[in-house]
């Protein structure tokens, strides 16, 4: 009870800080204008911040400049002081905060460009992509630090958790977590919180990154299961055993198990595995219907982060010798080395072990 009371007081403090947030952060440079990026840039502009949204997609930029409406969020035009640009320098110039919304694979090239363009010291950087970099196996905040230097680490944080751009844009209640250093987490909470977008402080940035990235792989598996019409029991088993292998792996990388059982783990897993709004889930269903990975990606028309994260999941598992049979099987299906029905038979034929970690 005492712990809950203390947590309530801390959260209330973050919300009180929100009253003063606009005095501290006037201009926000938003890097990336996909549906999620547009959604959060729109949220910030509605709160009264000056937002400059940057994208390299020329057709999208033209549409946004002309209509202030995203093609994937029809009827939800941007409000407030928001502009769209293809000039990175314009987005970064005098920015009091940088928010990233590209893709997991795009974080490195974008921040290499940021380094060349220049960023004033001490600028908070908030990551909203979910992923772990292939080969280097760095969480995205560490990717940014590796590029900009160790001195930026206290200023790099992230937002993660169960959220769909369409629902947030509609003002439906959503709860996520903010991770990073204590001071930065307070800044993120105060800057992004609205009456319908609630942010919980979390200081396990690695655990949140693992949950946000690896749940996408399990979501593909659940999409495959539903595409094969295997039933609700099969999907429940995939979600539960999928969470099991994520937590086991995350513990090997010094993540806190409780983080994986929170919003950025279990919460995000449940949402992504059970909704047609999830592109990872839809990607899995298309694979079950016989689509190749490339054809399925083209059909969806947006980046499928789970396809990228499946590679990373297997790389992480090999490094720590932590078996991830579901993730390994999903990757094999994506690569076309095994067909979905055969993959199900192989998983069901595995030796039975005690369920506990």
Residues with Cβ within 8 Å of 244's Cβ and at least 6 positions away in sequence, in order, are 355, 357
Bridge partners (DSSP) listed for residue 100: 31, 127
CA distances from 37 to 55, 88, 164 (A): 10, 15, 11
Angle (CA) 119-123-127 rounded to 5° is 100
Bridge partners (DSSP) listed for residue 10: none
Catalytic one of 23, 115, 130, 215: 215
Residue in 258, 338, 312 with CA at minimum distance from that of residue 103: 312
d(CA 21, CA 271): 30
Residues 278/219, Cβ–Cβ less than 8 Å: yes
63-71: long-range contacts, CB 8 A cutoff, minimum separation 24? 64/33, 64/38, 70/33, 70/35, 70/38, 70/39
Q: Is 215 a catalytic residue?
A: yes
Catalytic residues: 215
């Amino acid at each position: 009870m005492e712990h809950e009371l203390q947590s309530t007081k801390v959260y209330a403090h973050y919300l009180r800080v929100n009253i003063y947030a606009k005095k501290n952060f006037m201009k926000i440079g938003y890097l990336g204008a996909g549906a999620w990026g547009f959604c959060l840039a729109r949220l910030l502009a509605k709160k009264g911040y000056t937002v400059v949204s940057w994208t390299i997609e020329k057709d999208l930029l033209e549409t946004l400049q002309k209509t202030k409406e995203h093609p994937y969020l029809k009827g939800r035009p941007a409000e407030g002081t928001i502009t769209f640009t293809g000039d990175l320098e314009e987005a970064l110039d005098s920015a009091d905060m940088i928010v990233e919304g590209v893709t997991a694979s795009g974080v490195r090239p974008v921040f290499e460009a940021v380094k060349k363009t220049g960023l004033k010291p001490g600028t908070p950087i908030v990551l909203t992509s979910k992923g772990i970099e292939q080969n280097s196996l760095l969480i995205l905040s560490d990717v940014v630090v590796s590029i900009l230097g160790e001195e930026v680490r206290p200023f790099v944080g992230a937002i993660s958790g169960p959220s769909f751009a369409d629902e947030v844009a509609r003002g439906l209640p959503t709860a996520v977590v903010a991770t990073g250093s204590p001071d930065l987490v307070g800044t993120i909470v105060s800057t992004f919180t609205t009456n319908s977008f609630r942010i919980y402080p979390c200081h396990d940035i690695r655990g949140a990154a693992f949950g946000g990235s690896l749940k996408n792989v399990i979501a593909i598996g659940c999409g495959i299961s539903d595409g094969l019409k295997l039933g609700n029991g099969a999907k429940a088993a995939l979600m539960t055993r999928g969470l099991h292998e994520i937590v086991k792996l995350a513990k090997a990388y010094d993540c806190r198990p409780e983080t994986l059982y929170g919003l950025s783990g279990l919460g995000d897993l449940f949402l992504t595995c059970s909704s047609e709004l999830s592109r990872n889930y839809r990607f899995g269903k298309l694979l079950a219907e016989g689509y190749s990975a490339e054809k399925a990606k083209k059909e969806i028309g947006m980046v499928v982060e789970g396809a990228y994260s499946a590679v990373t999941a297997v790389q992480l598992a090999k490094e720590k010798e932590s078996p991830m049979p579901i993730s390994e099987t999903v990757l094999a299906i994506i690569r076309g080395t095994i067909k979905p029905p055969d993959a199900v038979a192989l998983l069901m034929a595995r030796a039975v072990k005690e369920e506990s970690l």
